[in-house]
Amino acid sequence: MSLRLGIDLGGTKTEIIALEGSDERLRRRLPTPQGDYPATLDTLVRLVHEAEDELGAQGSVGVGIPGTRSPDHGRIKNANSVCLIGQDLQGDLQQRLGRPVRLANDADCFSLSEATDGAGQGARSVFGVILGTGVGGGIVINGQLLGGPNAIAGEWGHNPLPWRSAADGPARRCYCGLDDCIETFLCGPGWAARSALGLSSEQLAAAAQAGEPAAALALQRYAEHLARSLASVINLLDPEVIVLGGGLSNIQALYQLVPQLLPRYVFSDQVNTRLVQARHGDSSGVRGAAWLWD
């Protein structure tokens, strides 16, 4: 059985996993060098070499990154780890490791993991959602990541909030330069800012669960915004399963509230799309990077 190595290049940590089939053979992590591309490259190469030395075998290498590889020039774009932008990460890794390397956006890796052996396993179409410090997504059809000419499939977080009204509050500028992107409503910092309660998203979720009225109302509004945003995805893609990941996916009330709200906005007499929590949690991204070689 072939060895697959997956790496999740995160903002603060870089993690590697070794899989044989679905079985985990090894897992390691190192701090991600901050703002230093050569040191980041060294960290990736070190993790691969150390894993293969320990296991006594060479594997395929897939890497999930906080950005995407441009199909036009092969260099990294749209990365919040800005030292990666404009770098030929794939080419540099292939040269250092002496073999092909596959790259994908971290939300794509999450989606592939959950579609392969996670909460979306067996479904023909899966939309994977990251709800964390940002909002990302990926689309898997018949077990294969959906790509496109711009390498941005699934970037639903930079569409405007659907069915916008004055009740949704004042407009907020997204870092992308546009107003009222879905990310400004659904990411953790965005939810916290719009609630105006002076709490972090983690504190908001805990207060809502404890029954604090203002926090509970903020959670109801969040569920409404999430339902409207997901309804627009369902109307376009009609996926069998939507899998939620990221820190906010751990708010269990969302799995009751959002399905109740979806029928108001989905263009159907009944909503058959399943909304589920990720099976592999924080491990999904690194597992999906390994599955890039399936």
For residues 14-37, average pLDDT: 93
Helix intervals (H) in 238-275 = 254-261
Check residue 1 and give its pLDDT.
Answer: 62
Q: Is the pLDDT of residue 294 over 90?
A: no
Check residue 80 and give its pLDDT.
Answer: 76
Bigger pLDDT: 162 or 132? Answer: 162
- Two tokens, residue 131: 């709800």
- Return the closest-CA partner of residue 7 out of 66, 57, 84: 66
How far is residue 37 from each of residues 6, 14, 62, 225, measured CA to CA in Å?
19, 13, 18, 37
- pLDDT tens string 26-80: 999 999 999 999 999 999 999 999 999 999 999 999 999 988 999 999 999 988 7
- pLDDT tens string 85-125: 999 999 999 999 999 999 999 999 999 999 999 999 999 99
Check residue 78 and give its pLDDT.
Answer: 86
- Two tokens, residue 292: 């890039």
CA 81/CA 92 separation, integer angstroms: 17
**pLDDT-based confidence at residue 176 (cuts at 50, 70, 90):** confident
Q: Is the pLDDT of residue 290 over 70?
A: yes
CA 57/CA 280 separation, integer angstroms: 25
How far is residue 134 from each of residues 8, 51, 201, measured CA to CA in Å?
16, 30, 12
Q: Is the pLDDT of residue 228 over 90?
A: yes
Check residue 288 and give its pLDDT.
Answer: 95
Q: Is the pLDDT of residue 81 over 90?
A: no
Bigger pLDDT: 245 or 79? Answer: 245
Q: What is the mean pLDDT of the chain?
A: 95
For residues 14-31, average pLDDT: 93
CB atoms within 10 A of CB 184: 26
Check residue 112 and give its pLDDT.
Answer: 96
**pLDDT-based confidence at residue 195 (cuts at 50, 70, 90):** very high
For residues 272-284, average pLDDT: 95
CB atoms within 10 A of CB 208: 22
For residues 225-235, average pLDDT: 98
Percent of the chain past pLDDT 90, that is, above it, reads 91
For residues 163-188, average pLDDT: 94
Strands (E), the chain: 3-9, 13-20, 23-31, 60-65, 68-69, 76-77, 101-105, 125-131, 135-141, 144-145, 241-245, 274-277
